[in-house]
Structure 1
Amino acid sequence: MSGFPLPSAPWLHVHDITVIRGGRLVLDRIGFSLDRNEALLLTGPNGAGKSTLLRVLAGLCPVQAGSFTFEGLRGGTPEQALEIAYLGHLDALKPGLTLRENLALEACTSGSACDEALEALDLLELGDLPTRLLSAGQKRRGAFARVMLRQAPLWLLDEPSLGLDDKAIATLGALMAAHRAAGGMIIATTHVALPLPGARHLVLTPQEASAWI
């Protein structure tokens, strides 16, 4: 993997992000910075806003207050989409297409080699099977292959180890380490231990349901 150029200031800066959904305060003035080679783990109970924060950074959820910047430029713009690789709770694989077909658009857009990503995740022999025939863990690895193919500096991973066994989690850890070593960054939500040594932690807590009703 080729390295990413190193900026002189933190690559990502999040300032006082506030999100209200359905009359409920979900995120209240959240702020942090993230630089090249770093990882941040978002932890906390269900309903604390972990997934919402990832969706904000991916440009998928509006904010009521606050801002964030990528390399000093305002975040959430379409032009910055290629700077981010997002893995949500859903694997987003069409069941009637093969795994290779599901990944073809991402590979074409980024100019990446689909088979290399499949091989890295021990999926090469399954590449021509319809994804409806794959196990939950295999589908999750297939979704992670899309993250790799995007060749984006920032990975936003929502419960990336969901459905994976110990061997697959170890593989995931090696790929995340390689991404960081090349200058990439990772923000991940998790309820379990993830192989992200040296990662910083941000603990989110549920806000009062009545605060903004």
Structure 2
Amino acid sequence: MELNVSDLSVSRGGIAVLEGLSFSILEGEALVLRGPNGSGKTTLLRTIAGLQPPLRGTIGLEREAMAYAGHSDGIKSVLTVRENLQFWADVFETGAIDPALQAFDLSALENRPAGGLSAGQKRRLGLARMVVSGRPVWVLDEPTVSLDLASVAMFAEAVRAHLAAGGLALLATHIDLGLSEARMLDVTPFKAIPPEIDDFDGDFL
């Protein structure tokens, strides 16, 4: 399993934000995207995950190999923790959800409606979807939002387990996850050059 990105350019609102990105992530590897707010990390992740088309370039992996977690937790508040994970297990056509409950310390909360969880607990439930997905490629956008230090460490262990099982991960985060083995990629040098605006009056001279 390998994710290959070649000469990729991505846009937000029809305007290029990043261009000329090329990188590869091998089985068992994690790549962490860095860059200031608004630099295009979310747009890049959404493009790689197949949620929007690239301006140009290629993404050498099928969308069906990827599981994406964005800013939304992707949970249904009226369902219990277990029912939420079972819903996603059915969507991804995978098996037991107990490993996901254990990985994110949710077993004691499994019968609680998701709407009654704290922000951090909701985030852990949302991230537990990645384990349930059974997909080898995790694409994660600011996954540690609302998590305390203990939960950040818990998430890092889940990523390590995923990598050890032959998966790979692409993450955007400003937080040090303690994943010393992860490679870093600063997207700032790939910022797209804005198009020049013609002098409107010049058209009439």
Task: Decide: shared fold, TM above 0.5.
Answer: yes
Separation in structure 1 between the aligned mates of residue 45 and residue 54 of structure 2, nearest angstrom? 12
Change (3 A) 1:31 1:208: closer
Q: Spell out structure 1 runs of 4+ moving beyond 3 A.
A: 206-210
The aligned counterpart of 1:84 is 66
Is 2:29 aligned against 1:15?
A: no
What SS does structure 2 have at the residue aligned with 1:41? Answer: strand
Is 2:193 aligned against 1:202?
A: no
- Alignment-mate amino acid for residue 30 of structure 2: A
Aligned residues of 1:17 and 1:28 also touching (Cα < 8 A): yes
CA RMSD of aligned residues (A): 1.8
Indicate the percent of aligned positions where both proteins have the same amino acid: 44
Give deviations 1:127-155, integer Å, cap 9, x for gaps.
Answer: 12111110111011001111001111111
Structure 1 residue runs of 5 or longer lacking an equivalent are 1-6
TM-score (norm 1): 0.85
- Alignment-mate amino acid for residue 191 of structure 2: Q
Structure 2 residue runs of 5 or longer lacking an equivalent are 198-205
Separation in structure 1 between the aligned mates of residue 120 and residue 83 of structure 2, nearest angstrom? 18
Is 2:68 aligned against 1:68?
A: no
TM-score (norm 2): 0.88
Shift, 1:212, TM fit: 7.0
Q: Which has the larger radius of gyration?
A: 2
Aligned residues of 1:84 and 1:155 also touching (Cα < 8 A): yes
Separation in structure 2 between the aligned mates of residue 34 and residue 63 of structure 1, nearest angstrom? 19
Shift, 1:197, TM fit: 2.0
Change (3 A) 1:85 1:52: same
Q: 5 Å matches for 1:94-109?
A: 94-108=76-90, 109=92
- Aligned counterpart in structure 2 of residue 49 of structure 1, from 36, 40, 45: 40
The aligned counterpart of 2:103 is 120
